[in-house]
Structure 1
Amino acid sequence: PTCSVERCATVFSYILVAIFFPISIFFCIITVREFNRAVIFRMGRLRKGGQGPGLVFILPCVDSYGLVDLRTRVEIIPSQEMLTKDAVTISVDAVLFYCVKSSTFAVIQISNVHDSTILIAQTTMRNLVGTKTLHELLTSREELSREVGEAVHHATARWGVRVERVEIKDIALPEVLQRSLSSEAEALREARAKVISAEGELDASRALKEASDVMSENQITLQVSNADIYNRNC
């Protein structure tokens, strides 16, 4: 019965198009841009997916369609407080680059592919941050970006989405931790400066000792040096 109704409705639509031709042609042709694809449904059933670019024919009354943008989208992954493996609370700012590769899947598999992709990226980021220490996050941002991108791509592939890359913009630390790290870095710099100063004094004392040994071994040189010092004082 359902198929019969669909056939009757389709035939009736063709008859209307023929009766009101050429005016009806303006209601039967849609223009699909180069970066869009049209997914056409006939009485709720998928008829054609990924139509375009150019002119696409539809039947009024029985056909409906949706346009899907295939261009690369740049979305900011909302920042949120996350807990690292070593129990440090941080905030990560990241950017997601992705595009729709299958317009049909993007329409029939999920209601809002873009919002869902952002939510997947947000939860994936939080889960992966929880498996790494603060030191690992600060020293290997590229690795975190790669892991998040691969995980999000795997989760959204069935929606017709391809994740191109994820970029970590910033890792924000609590103010108390920032002051602590700053104090630690300053203490390390002071300790390094003291070590360098001590090494310089040690080298100078070694040079003086070597000079003293040479002069004590050579009495003539010592006498000449004493005479020279005496003449300068006079």
Structure 2
Amino acid sequence: MVLEFILGCLAIIVILTAFGGVRVVNQIERGIVFRFGRAQKEIRRPGITFLIPVVDRMKKVNVQIVTMPVPTQEGITRDNVSVQVDAVAYFRVQDPLRAAVGVQNYLFAVEQVAQTSLRSIIGKSELDDLLSNREELNKGLALMIDSPALGWGIHIDRVEIKDVTLPDSMKRSVARQAEAERERRARVITADGEFQAARKLADASAIMANTPSALQLRLLQTVVEVAAEKSSTLVMPLPVEVLRFFDRGAQGSSARQEPEASQTAAPLPAPPDELAKIPGLHGAADRPGS
């Protein structure tokens, strides 16, 4: 009886120990087994895995994409503007063995590298690049973080700059700059429209100069449009040629009237002084009986 009891206890202990060595690895995890403290090269895949009790110890590493917000970093840009920039980094564990052995806490390590890289990007960039050219900055920031992370078995998928906070004075300056830029564009568009309109008018005037009938048709069309829009008395302008015709007629009639008046007018008697100067008149006046 005692022997049977001992054998039963040993069987129970063996069964419990065997079940104690059973582990389950989830789909989003990979298992790193440490046997007597030494990491095994074989990575345990998702599913049920067996460990040697008391000898093996397994560490699970998450291989999902991690979304890590980078805290706001304050820095001075290359054009001496103080800004505050925050970002977000997306990365995943590519080599679970390196992530578990190569670095103590890969999450904290990636966060610190992201903060220092973000401050470095701020110092190397200008304000206009931070506001409008973020694609290149995101690529450069991801490359700076990915370089040390590769040694830890981490792959950086992407890094995005979320927000850029400016001082109030700089916000007003940027607003004035944007307003001036919009005004400049409006003036350029207006000038371009006037230039195109002037060119079209010049082409139209050249066509009307070559074909006078087109000018008359345009005049009649304008009269019709004015009459359709406003029912009022219309004053028709006379062509300049008609006025010139009447002017030439008036000048011709006045020229014909001047010779006729000179021919019909009676001669006026000369003054006595002028008569005395005429030869022959003085002697005839002195003769008696003349």
Find the aligned partners of 1:205 and 1:19 in 2 and give their Cα distance.
104
> Residues 1-234 of structure 1: matches in 2 within 5 Å?
20-190=13-183, 193=186, 221-222=239-240
Deviations 1:196-224 (A, max 9, x none): 667888999997xx98xx8xxxx962477
Aligned to 1:67, the other structure's residue is in SS state strand
Distance 2:138 2:164 in 1: 12
Determine the C-alpha separation between the residues in 1 that align with 2:30 and 2:93. 10
Residue type of the partner of 1:82?
A: G
SS in 2 for 1:181: helix
What displacement does 1:59 show? 1.9
Secondary structure of 1:23's match?
helix
- Could you tell me which amino acid in structure 2 is paired with residue 50 of structure 1? I
Instruction: Tell me if structure 2 keeps the 8 A contact 1:49–1:104.
Output: no
User: RMSD over aligned Cα, in angstroms?
Assistant: 3.3
Alpha carbons of structure 1 residues 152 and 192: separation in structure 2 relative to 1, 3 Å: closer
Gaps of 5+ in 1: 1-16, 226-234
Deviation at 1:18, TM superposition (A): 7.4
Amino acid at match of 2:157: E
Q: Distance in 2 between matches of 1:199 and 1:23?
A: 89
How many pairs were matched up? 205
Q: Using a 3 Å threshold, how does the CA distance of structure 1 residues 224 and 196 change in structure 2: closer, same or farther?
A: farther
SS at structure 1 position matched to 2:48: strand
Corresponding letter in the other structure for 2:76: L
Residue 202 and residue 54 in structure 1: after superposition, are their counterparts in 2 closer, same or farther (change >3 A)? closer
2:277 aligned partner: none
Question: 2: distance between equivalents of 1:18 and 1:153?
Answer: 53
Tell me the TM-score normalised to structure 2 length.
0.61
SS of residue in 1 equivalent to 2:16: coil
TM-score of the aligned structures, taking structure 1 as reference length: 0.74
**Cα distance change on mapping 1:160 and 1:224 into 2, 3 Å:** farther
| The structure with more radius of gyration | 2
Give 1:184 shift.
2.4
Deviations 1:152-195 (A, max 9, x none): 11110010100111122222222210111112222343455566
The unaligned stretches of length 5 or more in structure 2 are 1-9, 210-236, 244-290
Query: Identity of aligned pairs, percent?
Result: 34
* Cα distance in 2, alignment partners of residues 18 and 48 from structure 1: 33
